[in-house]
Amino acid sequence: MAHGKKLVLPNHNPRTDFCPTPDCVGLVAIEVKLRGLKFTGPKDYPYDTVFVDDESGLKNGPQPWAWVFLSKPTGAWCWISALDRDDSWEFQDIWDSMRGFKVSTLVAPTKFLRPADTLLQYLCTEDQLQWVDGDMQAFRQDGGDGEGDGEAKSNPDL
């Protein structure tokens, strides 16, 4: 799998048996944006556009493959893919009340929003992580520390 070694399954019959392992696993950046808006998915998102990301973040970090928009009031979420970006996605100066100034922000039409289940079908589930070479603890449900979980811990493997 990710280690480049061929996986050999004992007694595997390729005509009748299904092998649940992927050929390889790719790590992509997914940004999560917490919103104070009430929505349950793309169909009831309350605006015609969605604030995707600020321009400085897009220029200085890894390019996200997707952005997840999480509704704080409902806990529901939907997402948008960078693969859908076209000329209708524009940078606009948006007032950021948290920061207290205008921020150049990538804004996209909500027609590009997708339901949560359409992203979940592409993600490896916890039981599939056994097929990935290396430490996957941070990707498990009880995994690594998140923001605000207290003191940051260093990784001795880095």
The tens digit of pLDDT for each residue in 1-12 reads 445 566 677 787
Predicted local confidence at residue 50, as pLDDT: 98
Predicted local confidence at residue 158, as pLDDT: 33
Nearest one of 68, 66, 108 to 87, comparing CA atoms:
108
Predicted local confidence at residue 150, as pLDDT: 43
**Greatest CA span in the chain, whole angstroms?**
63
* Residue 25, domain member (yes or no): no
pLDDT averaged over every residue in the chain: 82
- Using DSSP, state whether 46 is helix, strand or coil: coil
pLDDT at residue 79 is higher than 70: yes
* Residue 10, domain member (yes or no): no
- pTM of the full predicted structure? 0.73
* Residue 37, domain member (yes or no): yes
pLDDT at residue 123 is higher than 50: yes
* Residue 40, domain member (yes or no): yes
- Between 89 and 28, the more confident residue is 89
Query: How far is Cα 84 from Cα 78, in angstroms, rounded to an integer?
Result: 15
Predicted local confidence at residue 28, as pLDDT: 86
Predicted local confidence at residue 152, as pLDDT: 41
Ranking 32-41, 94-103, 146-155 by mean pLDDT, the lowest is 146-155
Structural domain total, the chain? 1
Rounded mean pLDDT of 114-138?
78
Query: How far is Cα 20 from Cα 94, in angstroms, rounded to an integer?
Result: 45
* Residue 4, domain member (yes or no): no
Residue-range definition of the domain harbouring residue 106: 30-122
Would you say 106 and 52 are in contact if contact means Cβ atoms under 8 Å apart? yes
Predicted local confidence at residue 21, as pLDDT: 67
* Residue 23, domain member (yes or no): no
* Residue 135, domain member (yes or no): no
Query: How far is Cα 121 from Cα 143, in angstroms, rounded to an integer?
Result: 21
* Residue 48, domain member (yes or no): yes
- Between 125 and 103, the more confident residue is 103
Q: How many CB atoms lie within 10 A of CB 31?
A: 20
Rounded mean pLDDT of 114-131?
82
User: What number of helices (H) and strands (E) belong to the chain?
Assistant: 2, 7
